[in-house]
Amino acid sequence: KKIILSGMQPSGILTIGNYLGALKNWVTLQSEYDCLFMVVDLHALTVKQVPADLRSRCLSFSAQYLASGIDPEQSTIFLQSHVSEHAELAWVLNTMAYMGELSRMTQFKDKSQRHEENVNAGLLTYPVLMAADVLLYQANLVPVGSDQKQHLELTRDLAQRFNQRYSETFTVPEPFIPKVGARIMSLQDPTKKMSKSDENPDAYIGILETPEVIRRKIKRAVTDSGTDVRFDETRPGVSNLITIHAALSGKSVQEIEDHFAGKGYGDLKGELAELLVEGLAPIQKRYAELMGDKTGLEQILARGAERARGRARRTLSKVFRKVGLVPAQ
């Protein structure tokens, strides 16, 4: 079986961007592949966190994975910090990553502009930790939204560099980006991606938000001048709504355009809001059940970490030996 690994940062709340760009695909992949899914809590430390909030968000994100359909019997689900090998491999890879290539990463440039008061070294080496996440498990495929493509390129470069300098060690992974939903845009500025850390909450929809809030946010979504429902790059607002519709309904853009022929933006928004409300309702119900049993949730995470650790250790021991470290007896 091919190996799949992916993760999300427990910052802000999970949005329909995360769901349609990544999580929904994870669920369909798990029966066919050997899957590992993490909550990347160490990555979240690169921005200032309130410790108690981070702690509860890690559990809440895990529950949202499970509620969305990740099956802990089929897939390995765990918290990144529970498997210390991630930080250890990241250190070795840090010594092989160049300042130049890290400082060229668009996400780093972006984040260091937005968090000017806290441009810490972790923000720069963030993609190296991500490479460690992937390479530890010899993952073949990494399902992500298109914003993570550049980080995956770096992961591939680091794997190849290591393999060349020492000997064949890491599987070189491929990104696995969905055709529809790979990039869900902000509802308030459809030229920017929908982000869970946007300061304007009208810009995103969280997967746990109530029907009233979902309907209100869709109603307020910025659309373009024009009236007909047509996918068109010069009209990013309505195009984004069509993309969300397609990712949820499974219909093609063409089918959606035909369906709304002679109708207007209001009709599209009305139907889209109901699609979201209906699509998210079962996830929300299951989420509430999972959060009602914290001990059960913690047990699932403990079992996941246990399974992951053995696999991670095997790769790390190999790496330590190849670079010349003395094995601990």
Residues 220 and 170 sit within 8 Å (Cβ to Cβ): no
Q: Minimum distance from CB of 169 to ligand TYM (Å)?
A: 18
- Residue nearest ligand TYM by beta-carbon distance: 21
Residues 219 and 269 sit within 8 Å (Cβ to Cβ): yes
SS (H, E, C) 207-229: CCCCHHHHHHHHHHCCCCCCCCC
Is 202 known as a binding-site position?
Answer: no
Q: For 206, which DSSP code?
A: B
Is 317 known as a binding-site position?
Answer: no
Of 225 and 233, nearer to ligand TYM (C-beta) is: 233
Q: Is 263 a catalytic residue?
A: no
Q: Is 193 a catalytic residue?
A: yes
Distance CA 263, CA 3 (A): 45
Q: What three-state secondary structure class fits 234?
A: coil
Q: Minimum distance from CB of 7 to ligand TYM (Å)?
A: 4
Residues that bind ligand TYM (CB under 6 A): 5-9, 17-18, 21-22, 40, 43, 130, 133-134, 142, 144-145, 147-148, 151, 182-184, 193-194
Q: What three-state secondary structure class fits 307?
A: helix
Is 74 known as a binding-site position?
Answer: no
Q: What angle do the packed helices 265-291 and 211-220 form, to 10 degrees?
A: 150
Is 195 known as a binding-site position?
Answer: yes
* Annotated catalytic residue within 1, 48, 109, 111: 111
Residue with tokens 């020492």: 166
Q: Is 111 a catalytic residue?
A: yes
Q: Minimum distance from CB of 178 to ligand TYM (Å)?
A: 8
Q: Minimum distance from CB of 5 to ligand TYM (Å)?
A: 6
Of 93 and 134, nearer to ligand TYM (C-beta) is: 134
Structural tokens at position 287: 């989420």
Of 85 and 292, nearer to ligand TYM (C-beta) is: 85
* Annotated catalytic residue within 2, 24, 179, 193: 193
* Annotated catalytic residue within 2, 48, 196, 263: 196
Of 203 and 268, nearer to ligand TYM (C-beta) is: 203
User: Where are the alpha helices (H) located in 30-84, listed in sequence order?
Assistant: 41-44, 51-68
Is 149 known as a binding-site position?
Answer: no
Is 11 known as a binding-site position?
Answer: yes
User: Where are the alpha helices (H) located in the chain, listed in sequence order?
Assistant: 16-18, 24-29, 41-44, 51-68, 85-94, 99-103, 106-114, 121-136, 149-165, 211-220, 236-249, 253-259, 265-291, 294-323
Q: Minimum distance from CB of 100 to ligand TYM (Å)?
A: 20
Is 211 known as a binding-site position?
Answer: no
Of 17 and 237, nearer to ligand TYM (C-beta) is: 17
What stretch of H or E contains 7?
Answer: strand 3-8
Annotated binding residues = 9-11, 17-18, 133, 145-147, 184, 193-197
Binding residues for ATP: 9-11, 17-18, 145-147, 184, 193-197
Residues marked active site are found at 111, 193, 196
